[in-house]
Structure 1
Amino acid sequence: MPLHLKNARSVTRYPSTTTATSNLQDSIPSRSSENKRSKSLGHGGRASTTSLNDQIVNATVKSQFLQRYEEMNQEIERLHRQSQCTGMDKQELEKVESELQKTKKDSKLMLQSQKALLEKIVRQDKKQNYRRFFWGNHEKRVRKLKKELNSKLGASLSVDAELHRLERQSVALRDVCLPSMDHSGSGGTREQSGGDTMDPFMRLESLKREKQSLLCSFLHTVPSSDAQEIQARISMHVSEMRACECIRNQVEKCAALYREALQKLCAALSDLTSPEYTSTMKEFVANCYPLAIEAGRAIEAASLVIQPDTCRRYTKYAPELMHVRAPKFPQAISDFARRATRPNSDTASGQKVEEIGKLKMAEKVLILMQRFILDRLEIIERWSLQISKDWNRSESSYRKLENQLQQEIGSGTG
């Protein structure tokens, strides 16, 4: 065989380099596209799994909320039914409540008549400076007014005693009608308060607060565009209602202290206007002055009850009770009262104080303090009415939003 043919036969035929490169480049895009499709399918599967888990969690939360919400509604309805007195207890309670309301009206009329008499006495004292030549008529009119005031004070004290008796009787009847309940209801609504029993009113209020918090927290899971707006409005009205309750407690404490001061001053003025009063410094310091000091301390304590936030919220009423300037006794009276407590007190100093007219000024301070307290009690009454109006308005708005939220829950779970 020729040599050139032998060499040609031994040559191995390899494919072209350019052809292999082009084939490899054609195969790479197809593989990358397959990888992308596989990755996209993987992410889509995980996303669908996550959304499914979220739906399951939301459905579970909604079912738990609805179960808890129904339990609380049933418990609240049960407490309302149990709070309704029946039989003889209900009739007796209604009778006591009607007598209590009538006595409150009588007490209010008594206080108004006292205030009118005090205004007349103050006007007579002012006329004294201008009409000294009518001194006899002035003394006669003042004695007549003080005698009438003494009778009014006695009637007011008896009415106040009857009012306190009826209030205690009303509370006792409510305790009989509303006995402390055992926690035999649903397990989710049990609360411990230092024992196995709890006041129904306290438990009812705690359930209402828990229901409000539950509604606000559930709005995060409601798929609605109005959920945030409803949540903000519900939170606002709930905060308004709680603020009104807190302020009402402050006003009630303040009113109790002013009523205590009023009783002290009524007793002091009864001694001052009684026919047996001899208008001596020693008698005034022994009988009237201590009661007036206790009344002044009650007024100061009442001014400390009102909080600064309350003053900023109710600028019409709160400053009148927070920044008080009750009438003060002359310094000579206070000094003599301190010296009178000593065993070796000098009675001649009391006569000197009487001679310079300080005793008349001290007697006038009692009248001014009584008028001051009556004015503040009227302010407290108007303020209490305003707080009740604010609370009722917030409670009505909250009820509307609660009904709207229940509709949202029904549409979200339906």
Structure 2
Amino acid sequence: MNATVTNAIAQQALVGPDVSDLVHEFSGPQWLERYQKSLMGVFGTPQRVLVRGAGALVWDADGKEYLDLLGGIAVNALGHAHPFVTSVISSQLATLGHVSNFFTSPTQVALAEKLLELVQAPGGSTVFFANSGAEANEAAFKLARAHGNSQGKPRILALEGAFHGRTMGALALTAKEAYRKPFEPLPAGVEHLPFGDLTALESALADRDVAALFLEPIQGEIGVRPLPPGYLRAARELTRKAGALLIVDEVQTGIGRTGNWLAYPEIFGAGFKPADLPDAITLAKGLGSGFPIGALVGIGAEVSGLLGAGAHGSTFGGNPVATAAALATLHTIESTGLLGAVRSLGAALREALAGTAGVAEVRGSGLLIGFDLDAPVAAALVQAGLAAGFIVNSPAPATIRLAPPLILSRAQAEHFLAALPELIASANHTAKGAAS
């Protein structure tokens, strides 16, 4: 193709409207009308049409500003439009955007090495890259099946309240009936144990026919519920004794969300050492700071060897741009001392929330926080928050979840705390009006 033809094609591609022009073309309601006509309704009606972000702030199509205390559900670790992450993505895309997995790239190898270092994984450990948490958990499901099939262990255990994703394998691990029932039959062999019940866990593992136990150190979807003290330690001991894999889902809790690279060591408790690591860990969400990427980390050579050549794959998983975005995210968290800042701000936020009238209980770690209200008015509080310029989430009728960018400032946190009593009062008033 000669230069004249190439230039003509390039010019033709520029004929359409600049993407930035779309921001001002329609109002929020007009965009929502178009949304409802063109997108599948799996998410319901969007609360707002967001067009721009900077740090922990976002703006909607009508120019209203919001403090984002949800961070794309724990995804936007470094906030919106982080300059370093943006520059790294742009530079990598301009250099090498995608190659098939018949090849590798320096960023893919470097990211795998960095994750193994941060996890403190022993020699022989390896990483598989996917595009999301659900895909990372699908790979982990296959890992569990491969182990179970080789050992004659057909059962897989998960916990009540668990959320591991919406693809079919991940959905089989997920406990919520409303998510599961429309798509049954799901992959067989998964059992859900009572949350935090060590007696039930010990009984389930007694027959030594369990391939794997899947756990979240802190269950996010149900309202930020940490495993009780001692449970992870016992789970590690019991699974090892039974010859079952312990697979830990850190999709929401990992990559600095709790003020540590992983939540597992903190929830495991005092005396944790690398020998106490699970057999596999899944990561996603904050790993790419908004750019889609997921990872399955196999701990040790024996586990890593369960999935050999051809056993699994992903067209886009671990491509140069995604892995560059993740490397930029990890570098920024590490070089700016962000983990300590997350621990400090998270502790201050939880303490202030516990002292707020109308708040019954506060849970969480770092900047993954759930707080229960005195009344089931969480949905109304979400709407009151939007009206006042705050984005929060209600995973349960009386529960609010916060998972803001890790770069949230103390002043921004205090701004929300100062507004919260009025938001609670407004939510209670709305609920009373609806009931009368």
TM-score (norm 1): 0.20
**Greater Rg by CA:** 1
Comparing both structures, which one devotes a greater share of its residues to strand? 2
* TM-score (normalised: structure 2): 0.20
